Amino acid sequence: MNTHKFYYDLDLTMKPVDGVLTFDERGQICSRIGGNELLSISAENINEVAVLPGVGCGLLLSKMKDGSEILLCRFTMSYMRAAGEFSKVVNFYVQTKQYAAPDEEERPVCEKCSRPLVEGMSVCIFCYNRIGVLKRALQLMRPFAGKIIPAELFMTVSSVLYLLVPLFSRIIIDEHLRPMKGTFQQLLLLAGAMFLARALGEVIFILSSRVFNEASIQYANHLRNLAYEKIQKLSLGSLSKRTPGDLIRRVMEDTTTVKEFISDGGRWAVEQTIIFLVVFIILLLTNYKLTLLVFLPVPVVSIALSRFWRFIHIRYERQWRKNSKCQGILHDIIKGIRTVKSFGKEDMEIEKFAKATRELAEVSSDNETLWARLFPSLTFFTGIGEFLVLYYGGYRILDGTLSFGVLVQFTMYITYIYAPLRWFVSFPRWLADAMTSMVKIFEILDEEPDIKSIPEPKNVPLAGKIAFEGVTFGYKSYEPVLRDINLEIKPGEMIGIVGRSGAGKSTMINLLMRLYDPVQGRIRINGIDIRDMSPEYLHENIGVVFQDTFLFAGTIYDNIAYGKPGATPAEVIAAAKAANAHDFIMQTADGYNTIIGESGHSISGGERQRLAIARAIIKNPSILILDEATSSLDVETESIIQDSLNRIVQGRTTIAIAHRLSTLKNADRLIVLENGRIAESGTHVELLKKRGIYYRLVMAQRQTSRLAESG
């Protein structure tokens, strides 16, 4: 049974407790402390649940239908937000008789271990399947296995060739130099063989490294493209839960981290493991007693590493989080640098970024300090076997039971034994960093988009007939923004949507564009539910001009043609003329090839708006949406843009939102929203005669205009 829980920390006498208030899908509220039930109330008898802030604490109060009030619980102020969410869930049920608890991603606690989840993540860093993550990373390498596997094999051959050098050294010492029986020609032949083995190993190593690095770069590029493609398909609801800096880091830096681990850590792990096994077999066959001395420290080091791994990945995840925070702040500051400078907040932003970098530096320093303490200790301990071999081997040489060449061979091979051991000491650090990045990437890849396309969409030609049928929607399901919207728009009709801020105007547009899906009801175009169309087809047939115009860094031509890839120059120019943009474009230095900076800040607001209109109409949409398309512009510029809008709406179904109500007086019909509902409907003249909400809005704007003119 679905249950929403609110944990509170004070009892009714203000004493600290661990209490929980639950509300289930049957409409039952229960309060418990330590397993003891204090009260149980049915939502059938509740009129409203309210949050009341007090002095040092807050209250959850249930106002009953019989006029009485019941105190549900007390809590400290840090629980205020959670209490508000609980009251909204209950009140939504009271009003609609429907249970709608917060979505899964809003509960930042792991179901398995109950630890808080990292902000922006739905995967617990303590409980994820590490073996499964590694297997998945390897599975994604299959397209590049044709390069990676041969490169790894040749690298292994290169390493084996290096291992021939100690064998030749033993032969030279024991069979030629020690007994003084060797000839110059024999020594030259053995030395040449040693040189050839080393040179051939180097050549093979260089060639295999080039192939391996090329494959790892392609693998990282593959991951990067997968992550970026998935981000493009995620809904606005999913994207809004993460900062731009977080998403950029996952696409760029995390894929690079995985690439470096595969090309360096993964490659060396395989190579060092093979070297370790080959040398172990050679030493064991040569002298098992010396071999046991060499490997004496290995079990202790292995146990230390296994325990160290338990918490090192948590530390690196924390470092990743701090780094992501720094990038998010940096992204926001750079993007909003004009606002920062206009308010003179440079020093404040410098301090904010400095604080974030200090936190990152502290975490990084702690990790490096820990590593600096552990790594030398483990590497020193692994070298104890080398001293034991020299002592025991020297003793055996003195008593004549061991040849000098064998000891030299052992001391040379010890390097090949302890180098992998020392490398494996640092391997958990690489692995922890890479695993954190892998989890971040796979979390994006695994996220299910809220807006899904059906297998066989009904992409019929759109004539512009739109119908909202019982549409209810909230960005949180228990907090509706729109309530039971019923509206029919005829083909070619121009509809104006007006209302106070927060009434739900832009939300209606978002639903029509299917950036979100209704909680209840449906939206039809030409009688087809838009959920039965593919989102891509729907967006191709809807043109949008937003209040906040975004232009891409590039040419004016490219920004207009963005609305219709492959558009001809004639189509671009025609769209610009229709938007009253052609004249100002031709006055620029390079005309349509003029480069405009990011967001188009190198041109005026009115010029940006006209380019946005041209971009919207170049694809000749059957439905046109104007979301505050003429706001924040001077009267002359607004007149120019309004003139272009009046031309392009002809023959198109148009939905316009505007705070300047005078711009909508020529609309075929006006829809007035109030508290998420359609409060009034009619023409400009009809609504003025009603002297209702619309009339008051118009009068308020006229009064504001008079005050501005008189001032």
**Four-point Cα dihedral 242, 243, 247, 252, nearest 10:** -160
Which residues, other chains included, contact 203 with Cβ-Cβ below 8 Å and sequence gap of 6+?
Answer: none
Which residues, other chains included, contact 381 with Cβ-Cβ below 8 Å and sequence gap of 6+?
Answer: 297, 300, 301
pLDDT at 669: 92
- φ/ψ region of 114 (left if φ > 0, alpha if ψ in -120 to 50, else beta) reads left
Instruction: Say if residue 537 is exposed, middle or buried (CB neighbours under 10 Å; 0-12, 13-18, 19+).
Output: middle
* Distance (Å, whole) CA 584 – CA 610: 10
pLDDT at 467: 93
What is the pLDDT of the chain when averaged over all its residues?
Answer: 80
pLDDT at 471: 92
pLDDT over 90, % of the chain: 8
Mean pLDDT for the stretch of residues 216-229: 88
pLDDT at 30: 92
Torsional sign, CA 62, 64, 69, 71: negative
Per-residue pLDDT tens over the stretch 429-441? 677 778 878 888 8
pLDDT at 313: 63
Give the pLDDT band (50/70/90) at residue 105: very low
Residue 42: strand, helix, or coil: strand
* Distance (Å, whole) CA 513 – CA 616: 14
- Strand ranges (E), 238-358: none
| Residue 624, pLDDT above cutoff 80 | yes
| Residues β-bridged to residue 33 | 19, 36
Per-residue pLDDT tens over the stretch 345-369? 788 888 888 888 898 888 888 877 8
Give the pLDDT band (50/70/90) at residue 107: very low
Q: How far is the CA of 578 from the CAs of 226, 267, 308, 581, 589, in angstroms?
A: 39, 59, 67, 8, 22
Per-residue pLDDT tens over the stretch 16-61? 888 889 998 888 999 998 778 888 999 999 999 998 887 778 889 9
Domains of the chain by start residue, with CATH: 3-102 (2.30.29.30), 136-446 (1.20.1560.10), 456-541+652-711 (3.40.50.300)
Instruction: Say if residue 58 is exposed, middle or buried (CB neighbours under 10 Å; 0-12, 13-18, 19+).
Output: buried
Contact between 550 and 617 under an 8 Å Cβ cutoff? The reply is no
Position with higher pLDDT, 488 vs 711: 488
pLDDT over 70, % of the chain: 86
pLDDT at 106: 45
pLDDT at 250: 84
pLDDT at 487: 93
Per-residue pLDDT tens over the stretch 415-465? 777 777 666 666 766 777 788 788 888 888 888 777 777 788 888 777 778
